[in-house]
Amino acid sequence: MKQHVLLLCLAIAFLLSSQAYSQDSVANWFPVHLGDKWIYEHETRDAGVNGNLPPLEIHRWQTEETVTGSSKIPQGTLVEIQVRIIQGSLPTGWRSYPHRAYLIRDNCLYLPEYGEIALDSSGHQLSADFIEGLNHWASPDFCFSFVLHKKWGAPDGLPDWNVTRPGDAKDWEVVGLRPHDPLSPDKKQTFHISSISAYPGSGMTVDIWFEKGIGVIREDEIHHGTIGEEKTRLVRFQPASRKPTA
């Protein structure tokens, strides 16, 4: 009996330490401290199908994203993010979401699209659809640590677009490294991550450049064939422990 109790205690201790290790591992790569702040510049370019091009529409704006809290949930840890538009305006028809949340689960980080995570007045809770997706098609945006050619994605593996995978299922690969990247705020190494699950024939490519300890410094979503682009650039990252500089 004592041996069974000891084994149970060891199992619980291992589980708790594994969860703590996972969160520490993510925090070593992606800032999740209260007060961490990113300023991003966004640009979209849109036009019609080739041969029937209306005037090109270009929108530019800046957002400020700040970590405002975190909470434990059965699926992992939710990190609250406050988003403010500090310059420019969104494209026509786009909606602004002032509150978002990231999910830390195992050694991975989920950065859901706006609206995928629901936060209610009683606390923090994942939407039922997103919880279902975690078991079938929702893929993490980042799984740490990064090495060249590392791949990760949805639970059911690489997509079979003729069967059941929804269009938002993603699979990723670290396709390159850039030492002393000039886009990096401190000219450090960045990892080039590319989606390897774009719908065949759609012409959509998604590429992300990531710096350890800062996060995303650049993201390009480009639709080749029609003019449709969304580009994001990091203007400034301000760690919680650092005061703003002029």
- CA pair distance 220, 159, nearest whole angstrom: 21
| Distance (Å, whole) CA 142 – CA 165 | 20
Largest CA distance in the chain: 78
Pick the CATH number of 2-238 from 2.60.120, 1.10.260, 2.40.360, 2.60.40: 2.40.360
Is the pLDDT at 191 greater than 60? The verdict is yes
Domain boundary assignment for the chain: 2-238
Mean pLDDT of 160-186: 73
Reply yes or no on whether the pLDDT at 96 is more than 70. yes
CA dihedral sign, ordered 186, 236, 36, 44: negative
pTM score: 0.78
Secondary structure E strands in the chain:
37-46, 57-73, 76-88, 99-105, 108-110, 142-143, 151-153, 171-178, 190-195, 204-211, 215-223, 228-238
- Which one has a higher pLDDT value, 141 or 154? 141
Binned at pLDDT 50, 70 and 90, residue 51 comes out as very low
Q: How confident is the model over 10-20, as pLDDT tens digits?
A: 333 333 334 44
Residue 164 pLDDT greater than 90, yes or no: no
pLDDT score of 148 more than 50? yes
Residue 83 has pLDDT above 70, yes or no: yes
Where are any strands of DSSP class E within 111-187?
142-143, 151-153, 171-178
For the chain, first and last CA: distance in Å? 65
Mean pLDDT of the 172-189 span: 87
Instruction: Tell me the residue type at 204.
Output: M
**pLDDT score for 121:** 45
